[in-house]
C-alpha cells in the first residue's frame, strides 16, 4: 500500500525526499531574486563601475556616490528634496490609515450585519476585484475634476480609499469570528460601536495588517495622481520624481541615480512585508472565493 | 410610510452607517467611472466640447477601420494575456505546492524572495530591465551572450519586433507570484491532513493523482481567488511594453496592448469617446476571462 504522501505537507524538519523540491525552488528563487540583487548592486556602483565594459553584474567597490548624486540633483531642482519625501510619507500614511478604517467598517457590516442588499453588495465587490483602474482613466479624470480634486493634495488619497481586494479579504476573515461571541456581548449590554472596536477589530488584526501592506505598496508606489491630476511639482511624490529619472536619465550617471532611487522605493515595502508576513499568511488562508 | 422608514432604520440603518464611507467611495471611483466609460463610448468627445451622441460609431470604426487595433493591439493583448496569465498562474501554483512541502524557515525565506518582485513598482523596475536588456553590447544579456558565443551581433531586445513581446512576457512572469500565490500557499498549508489519509485509502496512488483529486478540490476557493488575481494582474501589466521600449506607440506596434491604445487615443489624441470604446472592450475582455475562470474553479459544492 502506498504511504500517505500528504503527511509530507507542512513538514517540521528536513527530509531527504524534500531535496527534489529544493532543486526546483532554489534556482527559481535565484532567478527571481537576481534582478532585485541587481538593484542593490547597481545602486551601490561607483561611476567608473557603471561605465565598465564588459559590464559586471555585481558591484566590487560599493559606494554611495549614486545616492549622493541623487540627493544633489533633487536639491538643485526647483522643489526641495524633503518636499517629495514629505508628500510621499504623508499621502501614504493617510491613505493607509483611512483605508484600514473604511475597510474594517465595511467588512464588519458585510460580515456581521443582516440587511437585504448584503449579498448583492458583496458580489458586486467580488466582481470589482477584476477592476483595472487604468482602463477608465478618462472618466476618472472627469469625476476628479468635477469634485474639485485637481491640484489638491487630497487627490493622492481619496480616489485610492475604496479597495475591493482589501474589503474582500477582511470580510472573509471576519466570517471566522463566531456570531455567538457578538451576541453574548450584546446581551451584556455592549453597544454596536463597542463590539466593533473591542471584539471584531482585535480578532481581525491579521486581515487588517494585510490591508495595511497592500495599501502601503499601492500608495507608496503610485504615480497616477502626480502624473495626471497635479500640476504643481511641490504637491508630487517621490515615486513620481523617481519615474522622471527613469525616463530622462539615459546617461550612465542617470542610470546609477535611478537605481539608487529604485532601491529607496523598494526597501520600505520589503521591511513592512517582512514584519507583517505572518499576518498575511493567516489572512490568505481564508481568502477563498466561495 | 414613516413607520416603515423608522423600522427600516432600526433594522438595517446601522449596517449602512458602517458601510457608507466605503460604498460612497466605491461608487464614486469604481462604479461611476465604468458607467461613464460606457456612456462616453457612444459619443464623440474631444475633452473640450460637450460630448454628443454618435451611437455605435466608435465600436464600428474600432472593429472595421482601425487597422492598428485589429492587426496589432487586439492580437497582442490576446497573445500576451493568454501566455503570461495561465503560465504565471501555473507557476504560482507549482511554487506554492512545493513550498508547502519544505519546513517553515526555508519556506518563509524562499516565499519572500519569490514574492519580492510584486513589491517593486513597474516604473521603478524599468530602470533595471532597460540596463539588463540594453540593445548595444553594454547590455548585460547581450554582453553575456556575445561572450559565450551564442550571438555575434548585439540584439536590440527592446526595439525589435521579434523580441519585445517575449521580454514583456518574461518580465510579467517574473512578477507573477503576488497575492494569489500567497493565497494558494496558505491554502495548501491549511488543507486538513485527514483529507490526504482518506484519499489514499480511497485509492489515490501517486502525487499527480493527489494534486488532482485532493489538493486542487480542497483548494478551489483559493485557486479561484488566485486565478482572478492572475487575470487582473495580466491585464494591468498592459503598459509594460511602452515603459520598456520607451515610446508609445511601441516600435511597429510590436508590444502595443489595449491599455496603450486607450492612452494613445485618450491622452495623446484627445479622442475620448473612441478611447472609452476601447476601455469597454478591454473591461469586457477581463470580465469574460474571469467568467471562464469562475466556470473552471467556481462551482458550488
CATH of the domain at B219: 1.10.3720.10
Backbone angles phi, psi at B52, to 5 degrees: -120, 150
Written as nine digits, the cell of B187 is 491554502
What pLDDT does residue A2 have?
Answer: 42
Question: Within this chain, do residues A21 and A94 fall inside the same structural domain, yes or no?
Answer: no
A287 to B187: CB separation less than 8 angstroms, yes or no: yes
Indicate the number of domains in chain A.
Answer: 2
Written as nine digits, the cell of A36 is 532585485
Average pLDDT of the segment spanning B240-262: 85
A246 to B130: CB separation less than 8 angstroms, yes or no: yes
Question: Within this chain, do residues A43 and A168 fall inside the same structural domain, yes or no?
Answer: no
Asked whether residue B49 is domain-assigned, the answer is no
Q: Does pLDDT of B137 surpass 80?
A: no
Chain A residues with beta carbon closer than 8 angstroms to that of B118: 217
Question: Within this chain, do residues A31 and A164 fall inside the same structural domain, yes or no?
Answer: no
In the DSSP assignment, the letter for residue A231 is -
Q: Are B252 and B210 in contact (CB under 8 A)?
A: no
CA–CA separation, B233 and B88 (whole Å): 10
Written as nine digits, the cell of A144 is 476628479
Written as nine digits, the cell of A95 is 491613505
Question: Within this chain, do residues A93 and A210 fall inside the same structural domain, yes or no?
Answer: yes
Question: Within this chain, do residues A125 and A38 fall inside the same structural domain, yes or no?
Answer: no
Owning domain of residue B265: 67-297
Chain B residues with beta carbon closer than 8 angstroms to that of A22: 102, 106
Residues of chain A with pLDDT under 50: 1-6, 249
B10 → chain A, closest CA residue: A115
CA–CA separation, B254 and B78 (whole Å): 13
Asked whether residue B165 is domain-assigned, the answer is yes
Q: What is the pLDDT of residues A209-244, one digit of tens each?
A: 999 999 999 999 888 889 889 998 889 998 888 877
Owning domain of residue A276: 79-284
Asked whether residue B17 is domain-assigned, the answer is no
Give me the CATH number covering residue A169: 1.10.3720.10
As a whole-number percent, the residues of chain B with pLDDT over 90 amount to: 33
Q: Write the ipTM.
A: 0.88
Question: Within this chain, do residues A56 and A90 fall inside the same structural domain, yes or no?
Answer: no
B65-71: which pairs have CB atoms within 8 A and are 24 or more residues apart?
B68/B249, B68/B253, B68/B256, B68/B261, B69/B261, B69/B278, B71/B253
pTM: 0.88
Helices within chain B (DSSP H only) = 2-26, 32-40, 57-64, 67-68, 74-99, 104-115, 122-132, 140-147, 164-174, 179-190, 193-201, 207-210, 216-236, 240-245, 258-263, 272-297
Q: Are A84 and A236 in contact (CB under 8 A)?
A: yes
Indicate the number of domains in chain B.
Answer: 1
Question: Within this chain, do residues A135 and A44 fall inside the same structural domain, yes or no?
Answer: no
Q: Which of A55, A247, A96, A236 is nearest to B124 (CA)?
A: A247
Distance from CA of B57 to the nearest CA of A (A): 19
A135 to B279: CB separation less than 8 angstroms, yes or no: yes
Q: Which of A101, A98, A83 is nearest to A160 (CA)?
A: A98
Asked whether residue A144 is domain-assigned, the answer is yes
A54 preceded by a cis bond (ω within 30 of 0): yes
Q: What is the pLDDT of residues B30-88, one digit of tens each?
A: 999 999 999 999 998 887 788 888 888 999 999 998 989 999 999 999 999 999 999 99
B128 to A113: CB separation less than 8 angstroms, yes or no: no
Q: Partners of B52 in the beta sheet?
A: B44
Asked whether residue B219 is domain-assigned, the answer is yes
B100 to A10: CB separation less than 8 angstroms, yes or no: yes
In which band, very low, low, confident or very high, does the pLDDT at B124 lie, cut at 50, 70 and 90?
low
Asked whether residue B45 is domain-assigned, the answer is no
Question: Within this chain, do residues A225 and A191 fall inside the same structural domain, yes or no?
Answer: yes
Asked whether residue B30 is domain-assigned, the answer is no
Asked whether residue B260 is domain-assigned, the answer is yes
Amino acid at each position: 500500500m502506498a504511504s500517505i504522501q500528504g503527511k509530507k505537507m507542512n513538514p517540521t524538519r528536513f527530509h531527504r525526499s524534500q531535496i527534489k523540491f529544493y532543486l526546483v525552488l532554489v534556482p527559481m528563487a535565484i532567478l527571481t531574486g537576481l534582478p532585485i540583487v541587481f538593484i542593490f548592486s547597481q545602486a551601490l556602483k561607483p561611476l567608473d563601475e557603471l561605465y565598465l565594459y564588459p559590464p559586471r553584474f555585481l558591484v566590487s567597490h560599493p559606494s554611495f556616490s549614486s545616492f549622493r548624486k541623487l540627493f544633489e540633483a533633487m536639491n538643485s531642482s526647483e522643489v526641495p528634496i524633503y518636499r517629495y519625501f514629505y508628500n510621499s510619507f504623508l499621502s501614504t500614511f493617510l491613505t493607509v490609515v483611512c483605508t484600514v478604517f473604511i475597510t474594517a467598517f465595511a467588512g464588519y457590516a458585510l460580515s456581521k450585519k443582516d440587511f437585504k442588499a448584503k449579498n448583492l453588495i458583496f458580489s458586486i465587490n467580488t466582481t470589482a476585484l477584476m477592476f483595472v483602474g487604468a482602463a477608465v482613466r478618462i472618466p476618472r479624470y472627469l469625476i476628479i475634476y468635477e469634485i474639485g480634486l485637481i491640484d489638491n493634495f487630497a487627490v493622492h488619497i481619496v480616489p485610492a480609499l475604496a479597495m475591493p481586494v482589501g474589503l474582500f479579504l477582511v470580510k472573509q476573515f471576519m466570517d471566522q469570528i463566531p456570531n455567538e461571541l457578538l451576541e453574548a456581548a450584546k446581551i451584556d449590554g455592549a453597544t454596536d460601536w463597542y463590539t466593533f472596536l473591542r471584539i471584531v477589530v482585535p480578532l481581525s488584526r491579521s486581515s487588517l495588517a494585510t490591508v495595511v501592506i497592500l495599501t502601503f505598496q499601492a500608495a507608496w508606489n503610485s504615480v497616477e495622481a502626480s502624473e495626471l491630476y497635479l500640476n504643481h511639482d511641490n504637491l508630487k511624490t517621490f515615486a513620481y520624481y523617481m519615474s522622471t529619472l527613469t525616463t530622462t536619465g539615459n546617461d550612465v550617471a542617470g542610470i546609477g541615480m535611478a537605481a539608487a532611487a529604485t532601491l529607496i522605493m523598494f526597501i520600505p515595502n520589503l521591511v513592512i512585508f517582512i514584519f507583517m508576513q505572518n499576518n498575511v499568511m493567516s489572512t490568505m488562508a481564508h481568502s477563498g472565493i466561495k | 410610510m414613516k413607520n416603515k422608514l423608522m423600522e427600516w432604520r432600526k433594522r438595517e440603518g446601522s449596517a449602512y452607517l458602517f458601510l457608507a464611507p466605503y460604498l460612497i467611495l466605491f461608487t464614486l471611483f469604481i462604479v461611476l467611472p465604468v458607467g461613464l466609460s460606457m456612456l462616453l463610448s457612444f459619443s464623440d468627445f474631444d475633452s473640450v466640447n460637450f460630448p454628443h451622441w454618435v451611437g455605435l460609431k466608435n465600436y464600428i470604426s474600432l472593429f472595421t477601420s482601425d487597422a492598428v487595433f485589429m492587426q496589432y493591439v487586439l492580437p497582442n493583448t490576446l497573445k500576451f494575456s493568454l501566455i503570461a496569465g495561465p503560465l504565471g498562474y501555473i507557476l504560482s501554483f507549482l511554487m506554492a505546492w512545493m513550498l508547502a512541502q519544505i519546513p517553515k524557515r526555508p519556506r518563509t525565506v524562499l516565499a519572500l524572495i519569490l514574492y519580492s518582485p510584486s513589491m517593486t513598482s513597474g516604473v521603478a523596475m524599468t530602470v533595471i530591465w532597460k540596463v539588463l536588456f540594453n540593445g548595444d553590447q553594454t547590455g548585460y544579456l547581450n554582453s553575456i551572450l556575445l561572450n559565450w558565443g551564442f550571438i555575434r551581433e548585439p540584439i536590440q531586445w527592446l526595439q525589435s519586433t521579434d523580441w519585445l513581446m517575449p521580454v514583456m512576457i518574461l518580465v510579467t512572469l517574473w512578477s507573477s507570484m503576488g497575492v494569489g500565490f500567497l493565497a494558494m500557499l496558505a491554502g495548501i498549508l491549511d488543507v486538513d491532513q485527514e483529507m490526504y489519509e482518506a484519499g489514499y485509502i480511497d485509492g489515490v496512488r501517486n502525487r499527480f493523482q493527489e494534486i488532482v483529486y485532493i489538493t486542487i478540490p480542497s483548494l478551489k476557493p483559493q485557486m479561484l481567488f488566485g486565478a482572478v488575481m492572475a487575470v487582473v494582474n495580466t491585464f494591468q501589466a498592459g503598459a509594460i511594453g511602452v515603459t520598456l521600449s520607451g515610446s508609445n506607440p511601441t516600435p511597429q506596434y510590436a508590444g502595443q496592448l489595449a491599455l496603450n491604445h486607450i492612452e494613445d487615443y485618450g491622452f495623446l489624441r484627445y479622442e475620448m469617446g473612441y478611447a472609452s470604446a476601447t476601455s469597454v472592450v478591454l473591461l469586457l475582455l477581463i470580465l469574460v476571462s474571469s467568467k471562464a475562470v469562475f466556470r473552471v474553479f467556481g462551482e458550488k459544492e
